[in-house]
Amino acid sequence: MSRPGGVVSPPGTWPEVNDRVRVRLELPPHQGGDEIDLRTRVEDVHDGLLVVAAPTFAGDLHVAQEGLPVTLSWATARGQCLQAFVLTTVVRRSVPCWELHPAGEVVHEQRRRFVRVPVIGLGRLSAVPAPADAPAGTSADAPAPGDPHVPAARGAGGPGGLQSDGSAADGSGESGDAEETSLATALVDLSEGGACVRSRAASWLAAGRRVVLTFEVDGGTVEQLTDVLRVTRSDGPSALDTTEQRFDAVLSFVEPVSAADRVRRHVMKIQIENRRRGER
């Protein structure tokens, strides 16, 4: 089989022989189509190939064929590394091995970008208008915070003009307003790359929608464009004064993150405090 082309990171950035690594791959549809994560180790590095001990799993003899795309991950002093590979050869011997050819660059995954820390505070979600011809639940293409077409929370008294009860200072977003385009929220957790917030339901708050999250962190107000990844019912506590059913919305920050340094400092501060208390 011909090896995949393309510019890839040099083998010097790879794990060493006997290092523990993880292999992630997707099962074919007839086996459920699930993504599985398997532990293994590096057996050899030669001729631009990374050789790992063949991981075992149900159906491995049929799945492990030439051309199978996999993702390898391993730990380094800088954090977790990821790289895409293609299985080129299955070596049958006393220790069956997979010869993997790189199919992409090594990516350093920053843990704080994905690991969330609990936070307490109020915020506000503002809907970004969807194009007139877009299907329901979709939103406009990435307007920047401050765009005149992005509804901004108004008034004073807290993040996005929030009063102590989480309502807008100008009265917008009150319950029963059919035209509301913003919601008071309670922050649940935060990372460098996103947040989880708790709020009432709104027709525009759905997976795939683009919204602006306004909140305070590290002594300043943040207005950040986000994508809604999912919305689920919540039974958790909330600082919001409402008897209505609450929902948790998981948000992914859209680059660039204007307050990235402040968010990063806040996340690191909470992580350090948690370690001192023996929490992770």
Q: Would 29 be classed as within a structural domain?
A: yes
Q: Which residues does residue 149 pair with via DSSP β-bridges, in sequence order?
A: none
pTM of the model: 0.48
CA–CA distance, 224 with 218 (Å, rounded to integer)? 15
Residue 110: pLDDT band (50, 70, 90) is low
> Which residues neighbour 186 within 8 Å (Cβ) at sequence distance 6 or greater?
121, 122, 123, 166, 197, 198, 199, 238, 239, 240
pLDDT of residue 43: 94
Q: Which of 113, 118, 252 is nearest to 189 (CA)?
A: 118
Quick one: pLDDT at residue 151?
39
Among 37-41, 116-120, 157-161, the range scoring the smallest mean pLDDT is 157-161
Number of residues written out for the chain: 280
Q: Return the sign of the alpha-carbon dihedral for residues 119, 112, 255, 195.
A: negative
Residue 86 scores a pLDDT above 60: yes
Residue 151 CB contacts under 8 Å (≥ 6 apart), including other chains: 126, 127, 128, 129, 181, 182, 212
Amino acid at 13: T
**In-domain check, residue 1:** no
Is there a domain that residue 41 lies in? yes
Average pLDDT in the 64-93 region?
86
Mean pLDDT of the chain: 76
Q: How far apart are CA 4 and CA 88, in angstroms?
A: 9
Cβ-count burial 139-152 (b if 16+ within 10 Å, e if not): beeebebeeeebbb
CATH of the domain at 40: 2.30.110.10
Is residue 102 located within the same domain as residue 140? no
Q: Which of 109, 133, 166 represents a domain boundary (last residue)?
A: 109
Find the mean pLDDT for residues 114-122.
Answer: 76
Return the CATH number at 187.
Answer: 2.40.10.220
Query: Which residues span the domain enclosing 27?
Result: 11-109
The mean pLDDT of 155-163, rounded to a whole number, is 41
**What confidence score (pLDDT) does residue 160 get?**
43
Within-domain flag for 200: yes
The pLDDT score that the predictor gives to residue 248 is 92
Among 109, 127, 154, residue at a domain's last position: 109
71 in any annotated domain: yes
Q: What is the pLDDT of residues 183-226, one digit of tens each?
A: 999 999 988 888 999 999 999 999 989 999 999 987 889 999 99
Domain total of the chain: 2
The per-residue DSSP string of 102-136 comes to E-S--EEEPHHHH--EE---EEEEEEPPPPTTSPT
Residue 155 lies in a domain: yes
Tell me which of 109, 135, 157 is where a domain ends: 109
Residue 176 has pLDDT above 50, yes or no: no
